[in-house]
Amino acid sequence: MYLTIKATGEHANMISHLLAKNPHNLYDRTEKGARVRLVYTSSEPHDTEAMLFVTPDPIELVKGTPDHYDITQYINDRELAVSSLFCSYIRPALGTALNGKPKADYMNWVDYQFDLQMTFGPVASDLPDHVVESLFQPLGYEVQMERGEIDYSFDLKNRSTVRHIQISGQQTLQQMLRQIYILIPVLDNYKHYYINEDEIERLRRYGEGWLSTHPQHDLMIKRSLRFAPLIKEYEQQVANDASMDTLSTEISTHSVEDATAQADSAEPLEIIDVLETDTEPPVVRLNELRYRAIVEQVSLLPQRKQVIDFGAGEGKLSVRLGQIEGVEQVWAVEPSMQSQLRAIDRFAKLEGRTDDVIPVITTGSLFYRDERWIDQDVIILCEVIEHINEVRLPQVIHTLFTDYRPQTLIITTPNREYNEVYDMDTEEIRHADHRFEWTRAEFEQYCTQWIQNRPYTFTISGIGEKHEQYGQPTQMVVFHRTGGQQI
């Protein structure tokens, strides 16, 4: 991971004082499981360039954490792509410039607009090029992107989604750093930490003066905060700030005479509490609605003693399934050890509850046959299939319908049409790990194909707030076995 900062023109070498890094010394530190180095490739009065280079150690990153036992650290790009993890290295290395606090002798240079160029990468973004450009161009930058050509031995794609991005323009060093500090996680759409109210403070602090007026403001907020309650809290805080600013402006325009006259008036001055408590009902997250819909379906099934939750994650749905009357066994099947450990902690809290079935966590995958799952009552894939490459999906479907033959199979997956309601680009998908997202018609077509020559029927329904044109955000299919011979 790298970030280069280049200044040209008069006083270009002053950026070294703003960075608080001596061009003749190598900055070399170990931060959070990575080696962080900053070196100057040029240090001339009219041409100064510094490069921040980060070399992560995937083993050191997970030592002492639940990830220590998760092999996925070796097979993903998260530690190698510029993302929120990279931003956590920017803060300690470039914190002086980011916060605009150099030595007193150089404070006047904080507001100086240099001819700057910043290049960073590799960026693994699901956003199309024109959306990436729309994030930087309104800020006054020229944008250039480079992609690598890739050569597969099979038909998949011939251009990498990974890009190296260069932005250039006249700007203060602090402002440009603040902007990429917020925009890098927006591009990557991945967080290496739990998103909470601290993220709101980060946006407000480093987005001050530019984020609220940006044409892509809504996209940035959605990809930064993700969850409706946090987005609502952010919007409320911004509205409160605006109200307070307005109130302060109105008060400051009154002269002493106006204030005196108002004090003598028979009508008292009405003070409006701009922090009035919000009385709207709480927002129910889509994930919660999915769980409720699945639990309702399982509760209505005549055969529901044995339930298998594939891709169980941290076990939230599995716990709900164990609370359904008539369910005697719940298998929480999950390949990630990190998620398994969290599920184990969740299930441990159920000890002593006589009315609940405690799920059994187990390692498993849809890519190989497991004798335990044959002829069970219910198999559930909640938001799982879209994470599977389409070329491998037929194998999974064959395993489910031909090998396992459940009485009921429940699958949920995103409705791509509904992305319009989220103001997403037509090429954009909801999560970086999604391999595809289907329209309602495409999903129904696939379901029809899957049960050809197989003794199953199916019904499709939607989950979440309904749009007249685009339907609901999640689509759910319930397959029922009708008996007969498998083919």
pLDDT, tens digit (0-9, with 9 covering 90-100), for 223-282: 888 777 788 888 888 777 666 555 555 544 444 444 444 444 433 333 333 333 344 445
Contact predicate 289/459, CB 8 Å? no
Query: Phi then psi for 335, rounded to 5 degrees?
Result: -80, -25
Q: Which CATH number does 2-193 carry? A: 3.30.1610.20
Q: Which CATH number does 286-481 carry? A: 3.40.50.150
Please tell me the distance from the alpha carbon of residue 340 to that of residue 322, in angstroms, as a whole number. Answer: 17
Both tokens assigned to 118 = 């910043």
Please tell me the distance from the alpha carbon of residue 69 to that of residue 306, in angstroms, as a whole number. Answer: 29
Nearest CA among 404, 403, 409 for reference residue 476: 409
Q: CA 284, 287, 293, 294 torsion: positive or negative?
A: negative
Nearest CA among 477, 474, 476, 475 for reference residue 286: 474
113-124 and 456-463 beta bridge pairing: unpaired
Contact predicate 192/159, CB 8 Å? no
Please tell me the distance from the alpha carbon of residue 220 to that of residue 254, in angstroms, as a whole number. Answer: 38
Nearest CA among 424, 432, 319 for reference residue 84: 432
Q: How many CA atoms lie within 13 A of 32 on its CB side?
A: 14
Please tell me the distance from the alpha carbon of residue 180 to that of residue 111, in angstroms, as a whole number. Answer: 17
Residue 486: the pLDDT is 46
Per-run averaged pLDDT (10 residues), the chain, 487 residues:
93 94 90 85 94 79 52 52 80 89 93 95 86 94 83 53 90 95 86 74 90 91 84 82 56 46 39 38 75 96 96 94 95 88 90 88 89 95 93 93 96 93 77 88 96 96 93 96 64
Strands (E), 69-109: none
Could you give the residue ranges of the DSSP H alpha helices within 273-390? Answer: 286-299, 316-321, 337-348
Please tell me the distance from the alpha carbon of residue 472 to that of residue 418, in angstroms, as a whole number. Answer: 6
Which residues make beta-bridge pairs with 207? none
Please tell me the distance from the alpha carbon of residue 73 to that of residue 292, in angstroms, as a whole number. Answer: 32
Extents of the domains making up the chain: 2-193, 286-481
